[in-house]
Amino acid sequence: MDDETADLRVLRVFTDADGSGGNPLGVHLVGAAVPPARRQAEAARLGFSETVFVDDPDEGVVEIRTPTMPLPFAGHPLVGTAWLLAREGADPGVLRPPAGAVPTWTEGARRWIRGRASWAPPMVLLACVSPAEVERLQGPPPGVGFAYCWAYLDEERGLVRARAFAAEAGIAEDEATGSAALRLAAALDRPLTIRQGAGSELRARPGPDGTTEVGGLVARA
């Protein structure tokens, strides 16, 4: 094991209550082990939808990269990193990706973050007629680089079925997408429980001062 992989931790973020599902995430706890010039290649090599490089665990300074690009903000990487730092003894209470300060905390077994919908990557929120239509999708609509396709399973309870396609970021289909959940909850202005991918669960809700919160369960891979 070389210096660039010795500090790597792999998590599953947004599992369901039984520990199934979850989006794989790579976290380099010692960001200095991977110099900035090598980080994009490392994210592409690992192949996770996102990889996080922790540059200052005490201050919560982090960088996020997909296999093809850096991101200023993303939900599942920040939820997973906050969960991991808390277990490693460095829980800053605020993460600092390039987008800005992101408060983070634990409620019960779930880890939460708070951000602004405008920080999330641009995407099309595509409302489908039914959950069955969501299941039948083979990909995003033509010409759409990042689509979050959703339908209510139970509108009264705020229960949603969703799938995310993000080819422009090198992700054919994302298992659990926190930034999209955040955008959807902001757009609908209500709390949601989202079942995404093959078996993941995300919680999202409006927060104070125009923010939105997203949270979920995390496990080591």
Q: Where are the domains of the chain?
A: 3-107, 119-215
CA distance 164 to 176: 8
Q: Please state, rounded to an integer, the average pLDDT across all residues of the chain.
A: 94
- Residues of the chain with pLDDT below 50 are 1
CA distance 45 to 79: 22
Across-strand partners of 148?
125, 164
Q: Any idea which fold 119-215 has?
A: Diaminopimelate Epimerase; Chain A, domain 1 (3.10.310)
> What's the pLDDT tens digit per position in 27-73?
999 999 999 999 999 999 999 999 999 999 999 999 999 999 999 99
| Intra-chain end-to-end CA distance of the chain, in Å | 18
> What's the pLDDT tens digit per position in 139-157?
888 888 899 999 999 999 9
3-class SS at 37?
helix
Return the axis-axis angle of helices 75-87 and 178-188, rounded to nearest 10°: 120
Please tell me the predicted confidence (pLDDT) of residue 1: 44
Distances (CA, A) of 65 to 50, 54, 150: 5, 12, 25
Please tell me the predicted confidence (pLDDT) of residue 4: 59
Please tell me the predicted confidence (pLDDT) of residue 16: 96
| H/E stretch holding 5 | helix 3-6
Please tell me the predicted confidence (pLDDT) of residue 145: 85
Please tell me the predicted confidence (pLDDT) of residue 94: 98
Q: Any idea which fold 3-107 has?
A: Diaminopimelate Epimerase; Chain A, domain 1 (3.10.310)
CB 25 within 8 A of CB 11: yes
Other beta carbons within 10 angstroms of residue 73's beta carbon come to 24
